[in-house]
Structure 1
Amino acid sequence: MTENRRDRLRELLDAVLDEQHATLGAMADAAYASPFHFSRTLSSGAGEPPVALRRRVMLERAAWRIAHGTSVTDAALEAGYESVDGFARAFARAFGHPPSATTSGTGHRLPAPNGVHFHPPTNLWIDGDGGRPTAHELVATLVHHDVADTAALLEYVSGVDPAALHHRRPGHTVLPWDGPEESVFDLLAATVWTKEVWLAAIEGADQPQRCTRDIAALAARHTEVAARWVAMVRRSDENGAWSDRVVDALCEPPESFVLGGIVTHVLTFSAHRRLLARSWLRESGTDIDDGDPLDWLARRSTS
């Protein structure tokens, strides 16, 4: 994860929920802001005043702790209450039952205008804007990151020393039937070619030839196949076709493969090749990012 990336909302939430910040003034001081500015900023960003947010999350934490064996007295003190009676009254108002009736089955979440909740054992959970993501949204994220990261790698290596790009590691293979992949260029060429091969099998087209040594041509081929690959995945998801079987006549003898397995296979070995390419580039002295999907998603959310 990029160390210099700032998440201002998380910084404000940290100031609210720190054990030592029981008052609005202490929260604001930790965030280097005036109480008025701190309260206005957090209320705007989180939809809940900081003191109310802290009280609610601390009660959620207390409910979880009690359900997992912490005494009501200890939970009250941890939540910042000066008396057990005051804690019990606040708890009962929030949850509809006394702390002593709390079990693992009663749950620990309270209604929240912002989706910010206590997440055991010590973290926060922030619900997404659209509710629970569906399986097709997860697939889309994986597929789009794969093609975006491949494109970023191809753009990056177009400017590196050709000696680093084509430095050979004799005998190296990723999958025996794909042949040798002995350089960074070979790994990237195989990443592009694999999608072309599987699309040819799905579409009944001829076997494509692998690109050799021309990084500009490889980048152009990736742009073309990435669009087709994403469209194929989208159609398959919309049609509920993940369990359909593709008879690959390009194999000798022909074999059949489950469509969902094909996509999983491609994503798995594409990720392996991209990470390996980065490792080999670093060995040659090239400074390159990690290809972390978390960084990619963060850039997308701010662009």
Structure 2
Amino acid sequence: MTSTDGLTGLLDVLQAALDDPEVAPVDLAARAHLSRFHFDRLVAAATGEPPGVLRRRLLLERAAHRLVTSDRTVLDIAVEAGYGSHEAFTRAFRRSYGFAPTAVRRRRPLTFRELELPCPSGVHFQPPGGLRLPAARQETPMNVLQHLVDHHVQTLTAIIDRAAGLDDQVLDRPVTVSVETIDEQPTLRSLVNAMVTQEEHWLSALRGGEWPDESDRSMTGLAARHAVAGRDWQTFVARTLADGTLADTFVDTTCTPPTTHTLGGTIGHVITFAAVRRTLAIGALRSAGVTDLGAGDPRPYLDRVARATTD
């Protein structure tokens, strides 16, 4: 068994105990088939925190997430976290976060990661009900850019391989744009909505939330939605790049069953699918006589940014 396997086994015991915060430490050790002494020693050595401290922190992180993503009472959430009263929970929460539980509902975080309390191990509560271990290695922005290029080259190789099995009539036939893998029967409105919803969707997933409300598809409504989601998406990407957490994972609670993704993979996903939709939307605008956006090529923008940083 590797050290990672051993840590995972210990954390499995602690994760299961989150729903039973009153379980005694000796019983917790027994679930891991260890004496209380050895269980405490192993958890402290692996995570830098005694089991009781680690468990209380994880319960507070879970409680903070539930405060943000549900309308349940503070007392209900406090009891689930193992506190006997609203007051005791508020004191513990304020001591750890620096503000009261009700304040987190007034200032909802950009992502659930902002609710993670400092710790030496990098082990945190991960919505909807799991634990997140730190990534074994980290990705840099250059790694992700290279991965995107590698993905393009490999996909183009596969396209050529598949096309080699087709006859000349098919190969030379005029292409009718096929977007079944992107959107079904897209319109300019549906493309714009899909791009805005994509920002909202992934931000909600990163907060441990549900699918966003996309009912307002008027251009005024879409502009208002994008003003918020676009800003928050840019902020999330900037923070992820600055923190070097591209390889970290989260659970997408908007899909069934919930699926685990990396932060870098999610950013790459949005860039790729948004580029296709953006190109289609700009083409639809051109057909409507709006031509000032050109082809939507990012190169001129990137060139201008590069020049601005060197001037």
Q: TM-score range by the shorter chain?
A: 0.3 to 0.5
Which is bigger in relative contact order (C-alpha 8 A, separation at least 6)? 2
Which structure has the larger Rg over C-alpha atoms? 1
Please report the TM-score for the alignment, with normalisation by the length of structure 1: 0.43
